[in-house]
């Protein structure tokens, strides 16, 4: 939405300068807080956004700003998909292991399948963002990239998390998991 507002009320160069002044220090601070061994891989997306912002500022072309979500989704999609090849651990399995160290075979299969789902979602999201950046009015682009894409991501994340918890029954002590544990007990008590 900040990109849309900046482009609506000023030039691409002004938008790039404003976004760069806000985004670049924030991105640097976040990357510095990351563990050293994760910095290179997790800095890719902020660097892509910074590159799009710099290109828009130098060239005074708004298209570079509009394609930042495309670059972000493609990079994340490739990152997820890359973990599906060879003997790599699927991305969703990495996230699941943050909560449960030892996953069973069914859980590992589940994580692999959901890594495929996320890869496809991110590539589709990049395609929609690219189509809107190329062919749609700026307000459509802003509505999709500033609202609908985030709602879809949140829905996909929530769906996977809830299904995984209900299917495998590994609940943590925090409130959302305890609520899901009660729901699972009720479901299993029903005839």
pLDDT band at 28 (very low <50, low <70, confident <90, very high): confident
- Does residue 51 have a pLDDT over 90? no
Q: What percent of the chain has pLDDT over 70?
A: 92
139-173: per-residue pLDDT in tens? 899 999 999 999 999 999 999 999 999 999 888 88
Q: Is the pLDDT of residue 7 over 70?
A: no
> Among 33-42, 90-99, 101-110, 126-135, whose mean pLDDT is lowest?
33-42
Whole-number CA gyration radius for the chain: 20
The least confident of 21-25, 41-45, 149-153 is 41-45
Q: What is the pLDDT, as a whole number, of residue 34?
A: 73
Rounded Cα distance between 109 and 92, Å, is 10
Confidence of residue 5 (pLDDT cuts 50, 70, 90): low
- For residue 157, the 8-state DSSP code is H
Q: How far is residue 150's CA from residue 147's CA, in Å, rounded to a whole number?
A: 5
Q: Which pLDDT does position 146 carry in this prediction? A: 92
pLDDT value at position 9? Answer: 66
Q: Which of 109, 111, 98, 50 is nearest to 75 (CA)?
A: 50
DSSP 3-state assignment of 136? coil
pLDDT of 123 higher than 90: yes
Helices (H), 60-104: 63-66, 68-82, 91-97
Write out the DSSP string of 25-66.
HHHHHHHHHS-HHHHHHHTHHHHHHHHHHHHHHHHT-THHHH
pLDDT digits 0-9 by tens, 69-114: 998 999 899 989 999 999 999 999 998 888 888 999 999 999 999 9
């Amino acid at each position: 939405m900040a990109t849309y507002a900046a482009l609506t009320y000023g030039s691409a160069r002004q938008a790039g300068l404003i976004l760069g002044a806000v985004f670049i220090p924030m991105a640097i601070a976040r990357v510095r807080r990351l563990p050293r061994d994760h910095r290179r891989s997790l800095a890719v997306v902020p660097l892509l956004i910074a590159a799009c912002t710099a290109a828009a500022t130098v060239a005074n072309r708004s298209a570079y700003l509009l394609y930042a979500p495309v670059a972000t989704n493609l990079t994340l999609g490739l990152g997820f998909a890359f973990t599906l090849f060879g003997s790599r651990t699927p991305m969703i399995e990495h996230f699941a292991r943050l909560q449960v160290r030892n996953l069973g075979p069914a859980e590992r299969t589940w994580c692999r399948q959901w890594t495929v789902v996320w890869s496809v979602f991110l590539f589709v999201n990049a395609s929609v963002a690219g189509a809107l950046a190329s062919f749609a009015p700026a307000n459509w682009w802003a509505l999709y990239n500033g609202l609908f894409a985030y709602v879809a991501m949140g829905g996909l994340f929530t769906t996977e998390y809830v299904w995984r918890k209900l299917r495998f029954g590994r609940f943590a002590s925090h409130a959302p998991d305890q609520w899901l544990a009660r729901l699972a007990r009720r479901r299993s008590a029903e005839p």
